[in-house]
């Protein structure tokens, strides 16, 4: 005897799937992509990015962290759909690359995400981060700093997301250290930011939330536009002791995307 109830359950389930899928697509379409770099060319798109060159001198020797590397254009490569920042050691000189969107793109509030593959080795310090647009007027840390992803080779199984503010005298106080199971794989790192809170994600899972009850210019300098930075430092205060046998190493970035709001539509 044919079981009509089973057929009805299947049809009902399928219709529910279509409804949920349609709702999900509608919600995702509400989140507008406002800026991105997919790194699909053969050179860095200098309409999007600037090179930050040298050793930081004379204004910020060692980039403020006693870092020995010199940043060059030559250590940046765009090929096969990704950005590659190479750290090298030649003739006792460390070189790497640092790029920023300062003066070319900044935004106030939204969801920023990058897909990243980390290098390997003690002494490396790749980062995906943001600085306040007003840094030249008010200085650091009053401008605010948002470290969406920082990794150091001396602590290879850990990942850091942090905020730096005037209230903390620039020190890493508002921070979260999380376990990174496979640092040789591709991972996504993201930040969802508005006037009330900043939420950090890794692989679409929330890892840290900063939402002070009382917000001032000193503890929440994030009510203004910020620009994006990608770099790989070598050594320094946070990078630590350098293992010279690891070079060359590559920090690889598949894309950087900025949306008006969180496309994951998580309940925040």
Q: Annotated active-site positions, please?
A: 145, 150
Rg (CA), the chain: 21
14 contacts: CB under 8 Å, gap ≥ 6: none
Q: Among all chains, which residue has been given the structure tokens 């994600």?
A: 201
State how far the Cα of 231 lies from the Cα of 135, in Å rounded to an integer: 18
State how far the Cα of 50 lies from the Cα of 73, in Å rounded to an integer: 10
Residue ranges of alpha helices (H) inside the chain are 4-29, 135-138, 236-239
DSSP state of 57: T
Residue 104 burial by Cβ neighbours in a 10 Å radius (0-12, 13-18, 19+):
middle
Sign of CA dihedral 44, 47, 49, 54: positive
The three-class DSSP label of residue 21 is helix
Sign of CA dihedral 260, 218, 136, 129: negative
CA-based nearest residue to 190, from 226, 148, 223, 162:
148
CB 207 within 8 A of CB 161: yes
CB 229 within 8 A of CB 98: yes
């Amino acid at each position: 005897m044919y079981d009509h109830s089973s057929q009805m359950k299947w049809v009902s389930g399928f219709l529910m799937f279509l409804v949920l899928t349609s709702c999900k697509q509608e919600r995702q379409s509400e989140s507008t992509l406002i800026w991105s770099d997919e790194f699909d060319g053969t050179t860095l798109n200098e309409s999007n990015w600037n090179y930050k060159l040298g050793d930081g001198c004379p204004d910020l020797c060692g980039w403020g962290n006693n870092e020995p590397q010199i940043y060059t254009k030559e250590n940046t490569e765009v090929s096969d759909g990704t950005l590659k920042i190479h750290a090298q050691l030649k003739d006792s000189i460390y070189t790497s690359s640092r790029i920023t969107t300062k003066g070319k793109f900044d935004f106030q509030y939204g969801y920023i995400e990058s897909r990243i593959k980390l290098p390997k080795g003690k002494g490396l310090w790749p980062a995906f981060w943001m600085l306040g647009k007003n840094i030249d007027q008010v200085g650091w840390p009053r401008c605010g700093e948002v470290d969406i992803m920082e990794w150091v080779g001396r602590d290879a199984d850990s990942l850091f997301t942090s905020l730096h503010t005037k209230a903390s005298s620039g020190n890493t106080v508002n921070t979260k250290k999380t376990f990174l199971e496979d640092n040789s794989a591709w991972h996504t790192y993201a930040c969802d930011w508005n006037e009330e809170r900043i939420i950090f994600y890794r692989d679409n899972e929330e890892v840290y939330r900063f939402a002070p009850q009382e917000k001032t210019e000193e503890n929440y300098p994030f009510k203004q536009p910020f620009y994006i930075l990608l770099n790989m430092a070598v050594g320094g205060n946070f990078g630590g002791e350098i293992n010279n046998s690891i070079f060359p190493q590559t920090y690889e970035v598949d894309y950087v995307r900025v949306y008006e709001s969180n496309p994951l539509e998580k309940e925040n």
